Structure 1
Amino acid sequence: MLINQGELANFTGKFRWGHTAILHVLSKFDNEAGAGPEFPCFFGRSAVKRGKLRFLLIPYDFGTSRYELELLSCGLRAYIEQIDTDALDIKRHRPLLVLFEPVANFTTDHFKQVFIEAMQFLIDEDRRPWPAHVPKDPTHHSWTMCFHGCELFVNVSHPAHVVRRSRNMGAGLAFVINPRKIFDIAAPADERGRAITAKIRRSIDIYDDVTHSPFLGSYLLGEAQWPQYMIPDNNEDAPLECHLHFK
């Protein structure tokens, strides 16, 4: 079930945690009192201001100790079908925030495991062929996550990020998912695009308690995507190893 930012309700049953989770995400972008630095991505701030965020809630089945990833594939498929990837407009774009139900005592290793399981699940459940122009080797500079025929960028946030506050969206794991090509539009590989990228990274350095990750890069400049998805809380650890496999 895709939820529009302006259509929040009091969720019941296995989704009852969702209202609190969504409100916390929105609070990250609320800086009307000027109490601290603004969230570093001004494209994200603009989307929230225009009420353009979409949410997808993924409950945790405590009986099986698994997230209901079927809801992820169904919801992401519906999201992709509702956007025109050939006519993306940064001013009308609607980012998708996938929020996973918080589970007490989950650690960074748990979040890594769920992230890889979720990406593998999408690959296995994809009903459309992998785009022919995108390699299936995540270490390749032109690889990017794909689903339902759409190139994606997956920004992973989780509560074990303490100093990298821009990658912490609350008490549970969160994926911020966009069509990858929206970044080509927002920050193209030219002087203007480089200036926008530099501005965002300066804002990250102010917002977080650590400078921006050395793994951040540009697809158009041939810089690998996988290491950017789930970055460490510091600038010393190695990037997350990729265990994805393709049929």
Structure 2
Amino acid sequence: MMAELTSKAWIDEHLTDLSEWQQDAFRQFASMIADPAGSYPCIPGRHGFLTNNLRFGFTSDPRDEQAITEVSQLLRQYGESARETGKYASLVIFFKTPEELLRSYDIEDYEDLFWSVLSRVSAKDDTPWPEGISTDTSHHTWEFCYDGQPYFAFCGTPAHTVRKSRFSPYFLIAFQPRFVFEDINDTTPFGRNIKKLIRQKLSEYDGVPAHPSLKWYGQADNQEWKQYFLRDDESAPSTCPYTFMKNKFKDLSLRFHK
């Protein structure tokens, strides 16, 4: 069965058609991003949710190959329609998160899982990398791409306790299309103002300073991959796990086919 994109408007009308865990995942996400006090720090994300710009998908246990197929299907569908969904577009994917993961996984386990998902999804993509976006993760223009579309990937986990902005009761990956940031960057007054406001709200929401890895796409010292998964402390991997894991899966595939 193919994974299907849904919208907030559709879910609001058909919530009881979803399974129990899917209903719970959506309700908790909605209460977080659209809290009445407006404290959630990602202003574009909150606005996108309230104006039905976001799209949602529900997938299997992230360790399973079925989930990778489902994420690939959702990204392919989404890439074809993202620009039609609105200026503040994002694809939010909730993964079924078994009790076993909730009990035994810490932040580093979820970090490995996140990069494993991206790497395995990439292995299913046969579309050429978009022009103008480096394939070198250490370059400031690198961005995760699927089916020719560049995305900022954001991971939320049940293990985050300090950075509440990265907490999610279900393992979650949100994919923001690159076009969302066309006006939200350091080159425009609007971008600089919203950056300042988001950083302020982020510090208030988390109760700790923003992670030092947070920078703007395109800055010479920016490494986009470091922002995809933020740990509760201020540390970050020294090398990009995506490169390592992508090569590892490529090696495994070559050995398998020999």
TM-score, normalisation: structure 2:
0.82
Residue 96 of structure 1: aligned partner: 91
Residue 139 of structure 2: aligned partner: 140
CA distance in 2, matches of 1:168, 1:26: 13
User: Is 1:4 matched with 2:7?
Assistant: yes
| CA distances 1:143-202 after superposition (whole Å, capped 9, x unpaired) | 111111011100111121111111112x22111111123113233523432221111101
CA distance in 2, matches of 1:18, 1:29: 16
* Residues 18-33 of structure 1: pairs in structure 2 closer than 5 A: 18-32=22-36
RMSD over aligned Cα, in angstroms? 2.3
Work out the number of aligned pairs and report it: 234
Q: Percent identity?
A: 25
Q: Is the 8 A contact 1:11 1:18 kept in 2?
A: no
| CA distances 1:30-78 after superposition (whole Å, capped 9, x unpaired) | 332x4xx6101111121122133211111128xx866621000001110
Amino acid of the structure 2 residue aligned with 1:116: W
Residue 49 of structure 2: aligned partner: 48
CA distance in 2, matches of 1:94, 1:191: 21
CA distance in 2, matches of 1:88, 1:130: 23
Tell me by how many angstroms 1:217 deviates: 0.7
Higher helix share: 2
Residue 130 of structure 1: aligned partner: 129
Question: Is the alpha carbon distance of 1:145 and 1:175 closer, same or farther for their aligned partners in structure 2, counting shifts above 3 Å?
Answer: same
Amino acid of the structure 1 residue aligned with 2:145: C
Tell me by how many angstroms 1:137 deviates: 1.6
CA distance in 1, matches of 2:120, 2:191: 34
Question: Is the alpha carbon distance of 1:88 and 1:175 closer, same or farther for their aligned partners in structure 2, counting shifts above 3 Å?
Answer: same
Question: Is the alpha carbon distance of 1:240 and 1:158 closer, same or farther for their aligned partners in structure 2, counting shifts above 3 Å?
Answer: farther
| CA distances 1:98-136 after superposition (whole Å, capped 9, x unpaired) | 111122222223311221111112221113111242222
TM-score, normalisation: structure 1:
0.86
CA distance in 2, matches of 1:216, 1:230: 11
